Each structure stands twice: as structure tokens, then as C-alpha cells.
A and B are shown apart, each in its own frame.
Chain A
Amino acid sequence: MPTINLRNVEKSYGGGAANAVSDLDLEIGDGEFMCLLGPSGCGKTTTLRMIAGLEHLSDGEIQVGERKVDSVNAGIFVPPEKREMGLVFQSYALWPHLTIERNTDFGLRLRKVPKAEREERVEKVMRTLGIEQYRDRYPSQLSGGQQQRVALARMLAVNPEVLLLDEPLSNLDARLRLEMRAELKRLHNEFKTTIVFVTHDQWEAMTLATTIAVMSEGRLQQVGSPNDIYDRPANRFVAEFVGSPPINILELGDQADGLAAAASRYLSERYPSLSQVSSLGVRPEAVRFTSDASEVKEGSFSVPAEVAGVLPTGGSWIIELVAHGHKLFAVSHELPEVEAGQSVTVWAKPKALHAFDASGRRSQAADALFCPPKVQ
């Protein structure tokens, strides 16, 4: 299976509009399940379509394995029909005038695969996806989930080395989505295909991907494993985009603001070298709260707050807290022993803190101080 390399890829639609994709460098490894994650309009679908050849580049190049498929400077462009990739569309794009079987064997017929082999391969992929009983039906006679399977089967039938998926689960209901996620993961293991998957749903990205590439406004923000993205967000955008309820951000500096002042004081007293830090983030799971101030661990950041509400989500609870007029979220997996209106102390250990500088970049210096490497 090939690796896919995007180098300095840029896409503009002209007319003074901002670039859809700017200066994108991305390597998608062999057999990787790469997820392009970002809010709508961030350029992730454009990137996917450029890999497929459905959009051309304004600059840069794309290489698949040893073969350059796209290069503006070298004047190379391989049309999509010659790239031997698979793409599952968000709308599924099944051909309404063809039966499920003809939809599935379309690519094989184009490749003039002999009848016996064609039937065998179609049979296998249909069975794998559990759609063999619908072979003579038309797409309009299938449910959304079944159509989605056909769209996948159609691409898997030709055994593509690269499979591109454009938000294929977004039109499914919650239950089907869960099933299809497991299915995709299984297929990835079985076919060992390189998969590039576009989604705006962080859960989908977290559960499926081996690597996540977070994009915003046409620019790559961070590439890393799901855990990396969640635990060590490279900047404030990634920190705030990933996670639900969202990460708590404490802006530093303004002395009139009680919370900001408390955070600034904490930082300047304990970590005087971190003068560049302009905001702190704490994930809701790392937010602790107690009515007994003596439980606060030594060296932690703490601030008095009031419980505004306890929201059960089934299995866990979201606790809304208000500290110096700022709303903070905490998540607890045990029934919290507090109630609305109660005064508590909110605290977090230093290693739970994410520090960002004024441009929103993660502070490496703070990481070293908050989470010093253990001395053996």
C-alpha cells in the first residue's frame, strides 16, 4: 500500500476569496487510518477531493507511492479515473438507474475483469457488508444505512489501495453510526487499505482514526494520534475544538477580572519563568471540586466557586460551576455530592493544565515545568 504525500498544497477559488487550503504538508502512511477533522468550511473535503483528483491544485504537489499524481510545477495531472482510488461520498452518490449488483460491479466491468472473477468478488464484498439479499433492488428501495453499505461495497469491490471517505456516516442515525464505525474499523483491519476519512465529528475521529489531522481555515493545525490531539493539543484551536463539554480556558492578565487575576497570580508565584503564557486550559475531567478546602493537593491551582447546576448525562455528570463570574465545566463519573447553590473550591493539578502563549501556541516550557520527567 502506498503512502500519500501532500507538499505545499494550496487551493484557491480565486475572486479574492480566502484560500480553501493553504500551504498544506501532510504525509499519510501506508495502512494508516487518517482522519481529517475540522469545522465545516475548514478545507478538509477540498483536501480529500484534491487527493482524489476531483479538484485541481492551485499550487504544490501530491504523490501517491512513487507516482506523482498532481504537480503544478511539473505540469502533471493524473485524472481521477486513472488514480485507482476509492471514494465514498457523503450523499453516497449511488447510481439510481442501476441495481445494487450493477452499482457494485460497475468498476470491475470497466476494468474488464472476467465474469467469473467479477461475480466472485462482488459476492464476497456484498457478503462482507451484508447486502447480498438486496442485489436486485434499486438504491431508492434501500434505507440510508443500506445505501451507505452499497456505497462502500462499490468502492471495495475494485480493491483500491487508497480509500477516501467523505463524511460517510453523517446521514445515519446514532445507532447505525455506531455500527458502521465498528464496521469501518473491521474493514480497515481486514483489507489493510490506507483510509483517509473526513469528518467534523470528533467522536468519529477519536474512535476510528490511527492518526488525526486537525484543520481550520484551510490550514493544518496538528497531526497526531487521537490521544496526542486530546492530551497535548498543539494550540488553542485544537484544544477548544476537540472535547465535549469543551475545555475550560482561563485568560490571564486583566487584574480587574477575578479569575484571570487568580490564574495570573498562581502562575507568577509558582512558575515565574512562564511570563509568555497568556491563557490556561483545563479539560473538564481534570477539574476537581470540593467543599473541604483542605482536600486541595499542594501546588495545585485553586479558586473559590459556586455550583450552578448538576446535569446528569447517564453514567456521568456535568457540573456547571461559576468562579468570579466565569462559567467552568467539570465532568464526574461518580454521583457528585454537591448541589446547586453550594460553595466549593475548584482546583486542578499542574499536570492537568495546558498553557498557551499569546498567539495560541502550546507552551513547551510550561509542559516541562507542569509535568517534569520522572527521575528514575
Chain B
Amino acid sequence: MDGARRELASDRVSTSRWNRIVYAVRIAAREPTTLIGILTALLFTYLIIVPIVSMLTDAVFVQFGEERRAGGPAGTLTLYYLARTFTSPVASDLFWTPLFNTLSIAFGSIVLAVTIGGSLAWLLSRTDMFARKWFATALIVPYMLPAWTFALAWTTLFKNRTIGGQLGWFEAMGLTPPDWLAYGQLPITIILSLHYAPFVILLFGNALRRFDSQLEDSARILGARPLTVATKIVLPLMLPALLSAVILIFAKCLGEFGVAYVLGLPVKFDVLATSLYRNISSRHVGVAAVLAGSIMLIGIISLMVDAKLVKEARRFVTIGSKGSMNRKAQLGIFRMPASAFAALVFALSVGLPLLTLALSTVMKVPAQFTPDNFTLDYWIGTDVHTVALQTGILLSPDLWNAAWNSLSIVGLASITSGLLGLLVGYVVVRTPIRPLGTFLRQVTFLPYLVPGIAFAAAYLSLFAVPRGPIPALYGTVFILMLALIAEQMPYASRAGISAMMQLGKDPEEAAQIAGAGWFRRLVMIVLPIQKGSLATGILLPFISGMKGLSLFVVLAVPSTDVLTTFSLRLVDYHYTQAANAVVLIVAAIAYFGTVLGQKLTKTNLAEGLGG
């Protein structure tokens, strides 16, 4: 009797336990958020983690065809590649010299960019300089243009007889620029610092604008002189912004490929990215993997240092100081010189390079400014006497083919990553399963740490051969698209996450109460409200994809030529005019794309680019 009752009770407990599980499942399955989260997590594991891991493992396994050198059968573990990269007699050429070059370029660029950008940021945000508003936009333009645009402009001006092809302007005028001015460290440093100075202007300028003048006033009232105020009050509080800009420039320099490729190659000046590229193109997969891993490691360390330093420095930042006042310094007699300085920087970083490139495309012989030397043949001519390019660039089917490839590949990839970004944002903000959200956020950020060349190498290593159900993708547009989507996810998912954070739950819950199911809420409420950030999430990757070089240079083949690789090939052929014309077209697309984006979304996209 007693036993029967106990049995009954335990029966009841077990049904109730079963029902509790039913309840939990019903809650979880109520919305497809979690399902979508799991699916996207799987997708990104495949698109991001697997390629990277697959590439990194190449570093410790004997590659096919290198059995004898590595001293073991293909596929066995080996330290050969690590030793070759770090300690062998060629290690200096493979790793240490490029590392030193990379670091010294990064250091030089940071110093220059902070000096130029910092003073401009101060002039723009805290003084009564002339035409501040105009300069505020104009001085950001260098970042909207591809960096190697400037490298090509530089060679157009300074190229000497060390390498073949058309002469540089100075050489043509009888002044032979020395190698150190024409190629290598100096020009690369100058170009990168001009290109990245906008980071400093944006990040440092924003911080300066938000700085409360009352903090300065209090110090002055207590008797501090302007210099003391600047060093003891302003600078310490500006440190986080400055540090962020510095680390950002460092991370970008680390992966910079195009500029070093154009200006370093002629004098065998290697940085890590070009050394990696050289090893990839000569099929030294193992060494390439070691190099890529090293670049990633330095990137990860620098970002961790950044996070730590910024956190450290933020302790002092006054939060929500209400009486925020921003008084403009009166420049007095320096008003004119200050404006002249800004104008000079603009002329050097935008005007001169673009003008040089533009002029070079309409001149037959460099630096000869006589009317008979000018021609539009290189744009629209039909009888250009070059082997591979018989017509002006605009009449060449190759250009249109490349342009179509660029637009379709980058466009499709950007739309996909924009939508995926919003989905990731949705899942991250909404999923009741915290670890899923964290995983998605981190995995989509991962490509940010991987330089484009290394990422391309990862894709090459994974998709060059058929694996499982996936056929060999090398040489198809799919590999480019997948790599682009993955590489753009950091921007897209960040845009998506911040947009969903701002939206909050309420509008959607209100729709839910009104009777709308999940899909209807997504279509009728979430997407319409988020169309602005969706546009940003598509446009930002689109612009960076259009300018991008490193992914394409590894993964594109002639049939999937895009504008950037097309122009690079023209450079290799020494078709200066045609190459420069293509570069100008890319620059124009990038610039007008940014402007259009700003108009459409009524936001300052340039600020988003800095992120």
C-alpha cells in the first residue's frame, strides 16, 4: 500500500520532470533565434575558424613534395618550417629582416601620423582656423582612397632607372632620384603615415571635441600655465583615444601589402606581408603558414595590449561631465599659417597624388608639358602600341570585365555579409543562450586580427583542393566571395550588433503582444527600422572590398580578375598610363561610394571606416 503510493508519487515526479523539459524546449523553440544562431555559428566556424586552423597546421606538417628537405614523409609532424623561418641561414631573409622592416615602418608611420594628424585634429576641433568644416571632411579623404594609389603616384614621380618601364617625372627631367627616395622604407613610411593620419584626426579629434573646457579652466585659475595644462591635464585624458589610434595604425601597417609591394619590390625591401606573399606564390606553404601565424600573433598581442592600456587609461576619464564646454582657441596671427599647414597636408596627401596620376594617364612621355605630349589615347584611343593592350583603357574589354567582376563579387559578398551581420546582431542581442552570442561575436571579429594576405593564404590552403563534399574552389568566384564575406564580417557584425543594441527589445515585444509572430516581426518591424544600419553594414564592406588588394592578389586568377588585380598586373607590365587610369577608377568608386553612403544614411561613414 505504502509502496504503491510511493510508486505513484515517483511517477508523478517523473511526469512533472518530463513536462518541465517540454516547457523548456517549448520556450527555446518558440523563436528560431537560437536555431539561426547555431546555423550561423556553424557557418562561421567553417568560413573563419577552419581555414585559419587549417593554414596554421600547415606550419607543423611536412608538405607534399618537401619530404626530403623536411626529413620525413608528407603529413608527419615537423619543426622544419619553424626552424627554417626563425633560425636557418635564410631566416634573416624570410623573417627577421622583414620583421625589422615592418616594425620600423610601423613605428615611423605612427610617429609621423600622430604628429601630423594630432596637430590637425587640434586645429580642426579646438581652434578658429579658416575653413575648418571643409578641412574636416577633406582631410579624411586619404583614407577613403586605396593606399597603393599613393604608391603608384609616388613611382610615377620618383621612379628611377633601377627598374624598367616608363621613366619617373624627375628622371625624365634629368634629375635621377636616389634609390632611398624612390623606393623602400622612406616612401612607404611617408605614404602610410599620410594614409593613416585620418585615424588620428578622427579618434583624437573626437576626444578633443568632447573634452570639457572647464577642466582646463580650473587648472588655469589655479595658476597653471598653458604648457602645464596641456601636459598635465589635457594629454593624460586624451591618452586612450591616442593609444587606440596608435594601435590601429600599427595593426594596419602589419598587414599592409599593396604599398610595400609597389615600392619595396624594386629594391628587395621586404616586409612581413610581402615575404608572406612571396612564399605563397612560390608554394612554400609551410613557411607561409609560419609567417602568417607570426603576423596574427603580433596582431593579437597588440590588440590585447591596446585593450589593457585603454582600460588602464580610461580609469581617469571623467564620465558624463555635464558642463561640457568646448571653447575654441584664438589663433591670432597664426590663423593663416595654420590654415596653410592644413592645406599643404591636403595638397600632399590628396591633391598631388591624384593630380599626378591623372596627368600621367594623358601624357605620352613623362614630365614633358608640351601640348603635343598630351593625349586621351590611353583612355579612349584605338591604336595604342602596346602588346597586351591595344586600345585605350575604357575601350578594353578587360577593364569592363574586371569592373564587372569587382562590382558583382564585392557587391554580392557585401550584401551577404551585411545581412549576416544583422542576423548575428539579432542573435547576439536576443538569444537566451549567452555562450552562443559570445561565440558569434568573437568568431566574427577574428578575421580582424588576420592580415588579408594571411587570410587569403588560409583560404588557399583549405579550398585549393577538394575536401569532402566541397570541390576545389581555387580559380572560381566562390573562393573570392567566401573569403570576402569572412573578411568583412568584423565590420558587418559590429554594425549589426550595435544597431540591435540600440533598438532594444521593446518595439519587437510590442509587436509580439499585438500578435505578430517571429518572421512577421523581423520583416515588419526589425528590418524597416534597421534599414539605415543595414545600408552601412553593406556599404562599408563594399568600399573596403573595392579598395582591397591582398585577398585578390592571392585568390584571383585571370578569369576572376578584379580592378585591383588588373591594375597591379598593368603595373607589372609597366603600362603606367593604363595602370594609373584603373587606379583612378577604383579611387573614384571608393570615394563616391563613401559619399553616397553618407548621403543615404545621413551618418559620417568616414568615422565608421576608422573602426
Contacts and interface: CB of A to CB of B under 8 A. Distances in A.
A binds B: yes
Task: Identify the interface centre among B16, B21, B514, B515: most chain A CB within 10 Å of its CB.
Answer: B514
Contacts of A95: 507, 510-511, 525, 529
Contact of B509 (A54, A71, A72, A107): A54
A59 B362 CA distance: 79
Nearest to A102: B524
B20 interface: yes
Contacts of A91: 504, 506
Contacts of B21: 75
A89 B21 CA distance: 31
Interface stretch (A78-86, A228-236, A255-263, A329-337): A78-86
Contact of A96 (B18, B511, B516, B529): B529
A52 B528 CA distance: 25
Interface in A95-120: 95-97, 106-107, 110-111
A85 to B, nearest CB: 6
A154 interface: yes
B35 to A, nearest CB: 16
Interface stretch (B23-31, B353-361, B600-608): B23-31
Given A93-B507, A96-B507, A110 B516 contact: yes
Interface residues of B, number: 26
A133 interface: no
A110 B22 CA distance: 29
Contacts of A319: none
Contacts of A368: none
Given A72-B20, A89-B510, A91-B506, A81 B515 contact: yes
Task: Identify the interface centre among B23, B513, B515, B529: most chain A CB within 10 Å of its CB.
Answer: B513
B520 interface: yes
B30 A154 contact: no
Interface of A: prevailing SS: loop
A86 B513 contact: yes
Nearest to B22: A75
A111 B513 CA distance: 12
B506 A73 contact: no
Contacts of B528: 97
A76 interface: yes
Task: Identify the interface centre among B21, B504, B516: most chain A CB within 10 Å of its CB.
Answer: B516
B525 A155 contact: no
Nearest to B506: A93
Nearest to A54: B509
Nearest to B30: A79
Interface string B493-527: 00000000000101101111111110010000100
B19 interface: yes
B516 A73 contact: no
A158 interface: yes
A158 B511 CA distance: 12
A52 B20 contact: no
Task: Identify the interface centre among A81, A110, A111: most chain B CB within 10 Å of its CB.
Answer: A81
A17 interface: no
Given A77-B30, A96-B529, A97-B529, A87 B20 contact: no
A79 B21 CA distance: 17
B522 to A, nearest CB: 13
Interface residues of A, number: 34
B587 to A, nearest CB: 36
A73 B513 contact: no
A174 interface: no
B510 A77 contact: no
A154 B506 CA distance: 14
A87 B26 contact: no
Contacts of B507: 93-96
Contacts of B529: 95-97
B19 A80 contact: no
B23 A72 contact: yes
A56 interface: yes
A154 B27 contact: no
Interface in A61-79: 71-77, 79
Task: Identify the interface centre among B512, B520, B529: most chain A CB within 10 Å of its CB.
Answer: B512
Given A93-B507, A95-B525, A81 B23 contact: no
A89 B507 CA distance: 9
Contact of B19 (A75, A81, A83, A94): A75
Interface string B1-40: 0000000000000001011111100110010000000000
Contacts of A106: 511, 514, 516
Interface in B514-547: 514-517, 520, 525, 528-529
Interface string A351-369: 0000000000000000000
Contacts of B18: 75
Interface string B531-572: 000000000000000000000000000000000000000000
Contact of A81 (B27, B504, B517): B517
A85 B513 contact: yes
A331 to B, nearest CB: 36
A74 B26 contact: no
Nearest to B432: A56
Nearest to B20: A72
A81 B516 contact: yes
Contacts of A87: 509-510, 513
Nearest to B514: A107
A56 B504 CA distance: 19
Interface string A34-72: 000000000000000000101010000000000000011
A7 B517 CA distance: 27
Contact of A107 (B22, B504, B506, B515): B515
Task: Identify the interface centre among A56, A71, A87, A95: most chain B CB within 10 Å of its CB.
Answer: A95
Contact of A54 (B23, B26, B512, B515): B512
A110 B513 contact: no
A111 to B, nearest CB: 6
Task: Identify the interface centre among A73, A84, A87, A154: most chain B CB within 10 Å of its CB.
Answer: A73
B511 to A, nearest CB: 7
B392 to A, nearest CB: 48
A356 to B, nearest CB: 39
B514 A158 contact: yes
A309 B458 CA distance: 79
A75 B509 contact: no
A264 B346 CA distance: 85
Contacts of A154: 510, 514
Contacts of B22: 75
Nearest to B12: A73
Closest 10 CB pairs of A and B: A75-B22, A93-B506, A75-B19, A107-B514, A93-B510, A97-B528, A87-B513, A110-B515, A77-B26, A75-B23
Given A73-B20, A81-B516, A94-B510, 14 more contacts: A56-B27, A72-B19, A80-B512, A81-B514, A81-B515, A83-B513, A84-B515, A86-B513, A87-B513, A92-B506, A93-B510, A95-B507, A95-B511, A158-B515
21 contacts: A52-B513, A72-B20, A74-B19, A75-B23, A77-B30, A80-B509, A81-B515, A83-B513, A84-B515, A89-B509, A89-B510, A91-B506, A95-B511, A97-B529, A106-B514, A106-B516, A107-B515, A110-B514, A110-B516, A110-B520, A154-B514
Interface of B: 16, 18-23, 26-27, 30, 504, 506-507, 509-517, 520, 525, 528-529
